[in-house]
Amino acid sequence: MDYIRLESGDFSVGKALTSAVYDGQGKLLLCKGYIIKSTAQMTSLLERGMYRANNDTPKQKQAPLAPTKESPFMVMKGITYQLPIIFKALIEAKPDAHVKLKTLTSKIQVLCETDSDAMLAAIHLCHDCDYTVYHPLHQAILCEVIGAGMGLPVEERSSILLAALTSNIAIIELQEELHSQESPLTVEQEKLIKHHPQHGHAILKAAGIKDEVWLEAVLQHHENAHGDGYPQAMAGDKITKAAAFLAVTDRYTAMVSSRKYRKPLSAKQALQEFFMQRNGGFHEELAVRCIKEMGIYPPGSFVRLESGETAVVTRRNKDEGIWPIVSSFVSPRGGLYVNPFKRDCATNEGTIKESCVYDEYDKLNLNIFWEYC
């Protein structure tokens, strides 16, 4: 593929890139939609060399491309930059906002189909943007993995994902505030929370949304199977399946996310608590399906091996039951390996001793562990 070098006039600080950007070797640097945040960042990138694909090159003159694997983590990063822009457009009832969101939904579905293990890992490991962005994105991923595992049609899953991404659109600012708040809710905050399903429903209708599965899921996503939810105190079969998806996935993804006042639960702790609560107002079939899809050792969780090594779970080993594939990256003496070692936990080389926590997970290069380098 031919590439064209970008100059300073081809992009601006604070504006979304109109195309993907590559380095001089053709390696993806920034996804389409990424926003350059400062002049210093722009200068650094220009000095390194930035290129875009020459889409005007005739196809018959293009050299055959070598097989490549696009990093789902890089694509996800691009989505996190686009979501706040789309949320704002929906709130302002911009006519094309829901179309852009549907495009992102399709991209999430493709990523989950291509590498569901990496996407599940992202739920546990990718928390490097605002909570109001990564939480709905993680919720959508889990909805897609569960829905695909149940064999739901693509169109139905798409509606559920759209609802997951927008269920809290009426309280984005409040939700970000509450993420770091340690004091009890104020009366005004409680009022906003209790009414946000109706407000979110109204925002989406005003934005031109006519998908009833999407709209009803947003309206009902805090209803409870026992009838003690809100805003309508609905119960049992009166709650739509899509809304039940949102309730289950919201609970799990919240458990494995940190707050200012607490660390995230480990995947093992979250699944144990989730199992205990599976019939406590949740849709039990979906709760059990969530646990089944995650497995005992979900991708993105950490384990200590009998060898003394610390490893991150990278793949569910469907051929060997509960025992996953892991990558060891901390030696028995506590030093970091230069390169991780893949271990099959169904064999003696990777026997798991226990689940564990690794607090500096945000410093790991996930592309290396999931072999996207």
Q: What angle do CA 151, 156, 158 make, to 5 degrees?
A: 105
pLDDT confidence bin for 67, thresholds 50/70/90: very low
DSSP string covering 263-332, please? PPPPHHHHHHHHHHTTTTTS-HHHHHHHHHHH-SS-TT-EEEETTS-EEEEEE--GGGTT--EEEEEE-T
**pLDDT tens, position by position, 245-259:** 999 999 999 888 876
72-294 belongs to CATH 1.10.3720.10: no
Output the CA torsion 251→112→21→43 (10° steps).
20
105-132: average pLDDT: 95
Write down the pLDDT at residue 16. 78
Contact 360, 353 (CB under 8 A): no
Share of the chain above pLDDT 90, in %: 57
Burial category of 367 from C-beta neighbours within 10 Å (exposed 0-12, middle 13-18, buried 19 and up):
middle
Pick 70 or 136 by higher pLDDT. 136
Helix, strand, or coil (residue 156):
helix
Burial category of 341 from C-beta neighbours within 10 Å (exposed 0-12, middle 13-18, buried 19 and up):
middle
- The single-letter DSSP state of residue 175 is H
**pLDDT tens, position by position, 41-58:** 777 777 667 777 776 444
Q: Which residues of 204-233 are buried (b: 16+ CB within 10 A; e: fewer)?
A: beebebebebbbbbbbbbbbbbeeebbbee
Write down the pLDDT at residue 291. 87
Angstrom distance (rounded) from CA 319 to CA 223: 38
Nearest C-alpha neighbor of 325 from the set 308, 313, 337: 313
198-209: average pLDDT: 97
pLDDT confidence bin for 180, thresholds 50/70/90: confident
Domains of the chain, by residue range, sit at 3-61, 72-294, 302-369
Burial category of 146 from C-beta neighbours within 10 Å (exposed 0-12, middle 13-18, buried 19 and up):
buried
136-160: average pLDDT: 96
pLDDT averaged over every residue in the chain: 87
The enclosing H or E element of 158 equals helix 154-166
pLDDT confidence bin for 321, thresholds 50/70/90: low
Q: Residue 335 above 80 pLDDT?
A: yes
